[in-house]
């Protein structure tokens, strides 16, 4: 006759033969509990997942139910500034503006070189204009315009922010001085 026993892992009650208990085997109610399995919710969709305890405790433990779910919840959709096509990127790469190098090149070639007070400014892949063709250590056009119109000398820690978020729009009334790093995009009140 079976005896009522409590599972050591999950705490559920179940029946077991006394001979198995004497042999030290009737401790767990199911194979999941025997294999040290853990049940938890997927970070993306909330579906329940059962994995080994060692996988759950590891630093790179499984947090999503599938690769598809992981991809959908760690990516964001962005619209290409050149062709208007929507594309997915990792959230850490959300600053990207173009779907491909070809689109970036086309957009940059449209407005590649402009001149301001006798100095040529070249458009970078990030959308800013700089006084050096390769974009390294040159003077940024929006900083130069800000200095000229406000009659002040900017320091390295000063950030010149585009109010409308458009890096090509270097009108003096579109530029604002910040003293620390600012997040990407524009504020809601600026729209």
- Distance, CA of 47 to CA of 24 (rounded, Å): 35
CA–CA separation, 17 and 2 (whole Å): 5
pLDDT in tens, 146-188: 999 989 888 888 888 888 888 888 888 989 888 766 666 555 5
d(CA 127, CA 125): 5
Average pLDDT, the chain: 79
pTM: 0.42
Q: How far is it, in rounded angstroms, from Cα 75 to Cα 86?
A: 13
Tell me the C-alpha distance between 93 and 108, whole Å. Answer: 20
Q: How far apart are CA 108 and CA 114, in angstroms?
A: 12
Alpha-helical (H) ranges within the chain are 18-22, 31-34, 53-57, 67-73, 101-110, 141-150
In which residue are the tokens 């959308």 written? 127
Tell which residue, 108, 166, 116, has the closest CA to residue 140.
116
Phi, psi of 77 (to 5 degrees): -100, 130
Instruction: Please give the pLDDT value at position 86.
Output: 92
CA-to-CA distance for 182 and 188, rounded, in angstroms? Answer: 14
Q: What is the pLDDT of residue 191?
A: 46
Distance CA 185, CA 76 (A): 15
């Amino acid at each position: 006759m079976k005896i009522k026993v409590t599972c050591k892992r999950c705490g559920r009650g179940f029946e077991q033969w006394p001979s198995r208990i004497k042999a030290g085997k009737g401790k767990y109610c199911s194979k999941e509990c025997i294999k040290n399995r853990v049940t938890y919710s997927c970070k993306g969709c909330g579906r329940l997942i059962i994995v080994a305890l060692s996988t759950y405790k590891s630093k790179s433990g499984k947090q999503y139910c599938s690769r598809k779910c992981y991809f959908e919840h760690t990516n964001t959709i962005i619209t290409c500034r050149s062709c208007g096509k929507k594309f997915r990127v990792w959230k850490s790469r959300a600053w990207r503006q173009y779907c491909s190098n070809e689109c970036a090149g086309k957009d940059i070639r449209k407005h590649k070189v402009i001149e301001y007070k006798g100095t040529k400014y070249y458009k970078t892949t990030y959308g800013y204009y700089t006084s050096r063709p390769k974009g390294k250590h040159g003077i940024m056009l929006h900083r130069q315009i800000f200095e000229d119109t406000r009659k002040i000398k900017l320091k390295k820690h000063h950030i010149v922010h585009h109010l409308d978020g458009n890096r090509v729009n270097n009108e003096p009334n579109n530029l604002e001085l910040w003293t620390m790093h600012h997040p990407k995009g524009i504020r809601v009140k600026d729209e």
